Chains A and B, each alone.
Chain A
């Protein structure tokens, strides 16, 4: 089993020395669940060439809810101006995942919502703690990310989205 470590370390070391500077990082291929239990692969997230925001949250995470509530009010304008789509990834596990659909609907959020009950997508995206927000360009490449939320951060997110929308 030591061999796997050595192999992985070796690969990473080679990788670190052989960096080229062309393409950006895209989304990993990880299965997440819809609110009705269907399996969807994260690599199929799509917004027809327009920007995407991916937001990791949980029903037990207060700043996450604040962030999504704040954006909820601005979302119609953001969509109109840039065509952006916000995708929420809930980190609720078996304890609270059944709460996610009623919670999202109760809040009246209109985001595209998924659940990552065992943290597979979270790990693949290197998320430490929610909320963590990513902005993707039209090619699904990650161009911006941010951890935490405080009032006013929504402007920063939107600046990143506008930049992407303008650079098309």
Chain B
């Protein structure tokens, strides 16, 4: 279970191991260890390396890569003993792969912490991630696949003096690639779980959770023209009411005037409101959610752009599609103003019912829509006024989708889906005169479990649209041999492109080996230019052609 030797290799050559010294990595990778025991505590970690060797393919618009081989890598190490833990992440982005922000170039240890925790109190120094409520005022988090990491560097105290009362206080700077933002972020959050704290209510069927927070940032003002606020405060209140299978949760956030590059330096205040109601019981679930965001970009540096130095998190209220063609036109939150709504229904058609067949069918129906808020320009430094209850006329995004997940018999299972997406390319991608893309997507996915070890999965996807690059078809096949091997191939074909010479095939082949918590994946293919999103935050990925290598390991 333990392989000290393998771990020592990793520890001693930490900076060199990533990208360069692959053989050392292999030593680590193929050691069967789970974790190592040290000084009465334990040490454990994980590694991820993604490399790509780029070939020239000017036809699909792949940019020249003078280095030929680009690579992202990082390794986390955590030591734990009793109430104490410490950890660090070494990152190597000496030449980040295409699509990552070019400012994410460098290597070093941008993340390290020491943490002490007992029953009531937790103190963290160094880097930490945290969020207040749903994060509309404060969230520091990482999305490594996007190259997004706004970890705090400072001090955090969490205090839980009595049952049901949770206090958090934070202060520090935010990470900005391999440096830190100049703004100081400080804040506190209090959550009161009423039923947990009052014994008499503990068994009550209706539960209440209340919370509130305040966050402020400080950044000096050296602007020669404008008088910009050096301190900007924001706060929110939240309430959850749970009654049996019902749950209603709401949060309202307010931000003082905060002229910044994101809002074109207007002095208007900002706000965000999110309300979600859910009901569920065995075999049935329903969600209804609405939100309004008005001038709510909140960053620790007023001049920051793209995904840099964001203090808060404004999630997209749309379904996160995983099928390749359904994710061709993804939505990104519009922090300067949007109305959003989403409804979703899950139900299970019981076996031997009309839609159920012998084994039952899971059905999901989902609809979401995002559109502009009402804005009336004032012509002064405040920018505009907005009527809270009025929506604007412009639709940013609309998605209707339905999915059937059905098991035919012991060997065959299928997922059939239909997706309609109305995508406002101008607003979402910040372009002009492209207008909307209306697309209809059909997907049929079937898994054939041949025997207890082998299975084959086939996906057929088709996207129909008259706009943008017109229609696409996709065929994917994945064969896996449990527990270690898989091989997959797909071809994404832009057969409907009006420009006949641009009817490209984007084909990819992948081969992977998994053993325990180690995974190696090798691939070759052509990747189309596109937008890659997680949680409504996106990055543009250029077209490319080449070999990819991806290695992940936990130990």
Q: Is A29 within 8 A of B83, CB to CB?
A: yes
Q: A126-B44, A147-B552, A150-B486 are in contact. Are A19 and B38 (CB under 8 A)?
A: yes
Residues of B with C-beta under 8 A to A9: 88, 109, 112
Q: How far is the CB of A30 from chain B (nearest CB, A)?
A: 9
Is B463 among interface residues, defined by CB-CB distance under 8 A?
A: no
B22-30, B343-351, B382-390 - interface stretch:
B343-351
* A/B pair count, beta carbons within 8 Å: 250
Q: Is B114 within 8 A of A119, CB to CB?
A: no
Q: Is B43 within 8 A of A15, CB to CB?
A: yes
Residues of B with C-beta under 8 A to A18: 38-39
Q: A98-B276, A152-B483 are in contact. Are A39 and B193 (CB under 8 A)?
A: yes
Q: How far is the CB of B75 from chain A (nearest CB, A)?
A: 10
Chain B's interface size range is 35 or more
Q: A13-B11, A94-B139, A146-B516 are in contact. Are A118 and B38 (CB under 8 A)?
A: no
A94 in complex: contacting residue of B2, B48, B131, CB < 8 Å = B131
B96-104, B261-269, B285-293 - interface stretch:
B285-293
A147 in complex: contacting residue of B38, B44, B88, B517, CB < 8 Å = B517
Q: Is A16 within 8 A of B11, CB to CB?
A: yes
Is A140 among interface residues, defined by CB-CB distance under 8 A?
A: no
Q: Is A106 within 8 A of B131, CB to CB?
A: no
- Bound-state Cα–Cα, A60 to B330, Å: 14
Q: Is B114 within 8 A of A8, CB to CB?
A: yes
- Bound-state Cα–Cα, A1 to B141, Å: 20
Select from chain A the residue with minimum beta-carbon distance to B130: A118
Q: Is B35 within 8 A of A25, CB to CB?
A: yes
Select from chain B the residue with minimum beta-carbon distance to A98: B276
Q: How far is the CB of B482 from chain A (nearest CB, A)?
A: 3
Query: How many A residues face the partner with a CB closer than 8 A?
Result: 72
Residues of A with C-beta under 8 A to B518: 147
Is B378 among interface residues, defined by CB-CB distance under 8 A?
A: no
Is B280 among interface residues, defined by CB-CB distance under 8 A?
A: yes
A46-54, A76-84, A127-135 - interface stretch:
A127-135
Q: How far is the CB of B409 from chain A (nearest CB, A)?
A: 13
Q: Is A94 within 8 A of B134, CB to CB?
A: yes
Q: How far is the CB of B99 from chain A (nearest CB, A)?
A: 18
Residues of A with C-beta under 8 A to B58: none
Residues of A with C-beta under 8 A to B516: 144-147
- Bound-state Cα–Cα, A1 to B113, Å: 10
Select from chain A the residue with minimum beta-carbon distance to B7: A16
Q: How far is the CB of B126 from chain A (nearest CB, A)?
A: 5
Interface residues of A in 11-27 (CB under 8 A from B): 11-26
- Bound-state Cα–Cα, A23 to B4, Å: 13
Q: Is A25 within 8 A of B285, CB to CB?
A: no
Per-position contact with B for A101-115: 1 when CB-CB < 8 Å, else 0?
111111110000000
Q: Is B455 within 8 A of A151, CB to CB?
A: yes
Residues of B with C-beta under 8 A to A95: 315-317, 320, 535-536
Q: Is B2 within 8 A of A105, CB to CB?
A: no
- Bound-state Cα–Cα, A107 to B552, Å: 30
- Bound-state Cα–Cα, A153 to B8, Å: 30
Is A7 among interface residues, defined by CB-CB distance under 8 A?
A: yes
Q: Is A60 within 8 A of B4, CB to CB?
A: no
Q: How far is the CB of B89 from chain A (nearest CB, A)?
A: 9
A150 in complex: contacting residue of B35, B44, B482, CB < 8 Å = B482
Q: How far is the CB of B50 from chain A (nearest CB, A)?
A: 11
Residues of A with C-beta under 8 A to B79: 11-12, 15
B60-68, B220-228, B241-249, B431-439 - interface stretch:
B241-249
Q: How far is the CB of B284 from chain A (nearest CB, A)?
A: 6
Select from chain A the residue with minimum beta-carbon distance to B284: A106
Is B199 among interface residues, defined by CB-CB distance under 8 A?
A: no
Residues of A with C-beta under 8 A to B139: 94, 118
Q: How far is the CB of A139 from chain B (nearest CB, A)?
A: 13
Residues of A with C-beta under 8 A to B182: none
Q: Is A101 within 8 A of B455, CB to CB?
A: no
Q: A7-B114, A28-B80, A126-B46 are in contact. Are A37 and B242 (CB under 8 A)?
A: yes
Residues of A with C-beta under 8 A to B135: 93-94, 118
Residues of A with C-beta under 8 A to B11: 12-13, 16
Residues of B with C-beta under 8 A to A5: 88, 109, 112
Residues of B with C-beta under 8 A to A143: 1, 34
Residues of B with C-beta under 8 A to A8: 86-88, 112-114, 126
Q: Is B287 within 8 A of A147, CB to CB?
A: no
Is A74 among interface residues, defined by CB-CB distance under 8 A?
A: no
Q: How far is the CB of A82 from chain B (nearest CB, A)?
A: 19
Residues of B with C-beta under 8 A to A101: 247, 278, 280, 285
Most buried by B among A11, A17, A66: A11
B117 in complex: contacting residue of A29, A105, A107, A126, CB < 8 Å = A29
Residues of B with C-beta under 8 A to A102: 278-280, 285-287, 344, 346
- Bound-state Cα–Cα, A107 to B407, Å: 14
Q: A12-B43, A106-B283, A119-B129 are in contact. Are A4 and B536 (CB under 8 A)?
A: no
Is B519 among interface residues, defined by CB-CB distance under 8 A?
A: yes
- Bound-state Cα–Cα, A64 to B411, Å: 19
Q: How far is the CB of B31 from chain A (nearest CB, A)?
A: 13
Q: How far is the CB of A151 from chain B (nearest CB, A)?
A: 4
Q: A8-B114, A25-B34, A153-B483 are in contact. Are A103 and B285 (CB under 8 A)?
A: yes
Q: How far is the CB of B106 from chain A (nearest CB, A)?
A: 15
Interface residues of B in 494-525 (CB under 8 A from A): 514, 516-519
The 3 closest A-B pairs by CB, nearest first: A102-B285, A152-B482, A106-B346
Q: Which residues of A contact B (CB under 8 A)?
A: 1, 4-5, 7-9, 11-26, 28-29, 36-39, 59-62, 66, 93-96, 98-99, 101-108, 117-120, 123-129, 132, 142-148, 150-153, 155-156
6 of the cross-chain contacts (CB-CB < 8 Å) are A5-B109, A119-B129, A119-B141, A119-B142, A124-B78, A128-B46
For the A-B complex with A4-B112, A106-B280, A132-B517 known, give 8 more contacts whose Cβ atoms are closer than 8 Å.
A4-B125, A5-B112, A19-B36, A94-B535, A101-B247, A102-B344, A128-B553, A132-B554
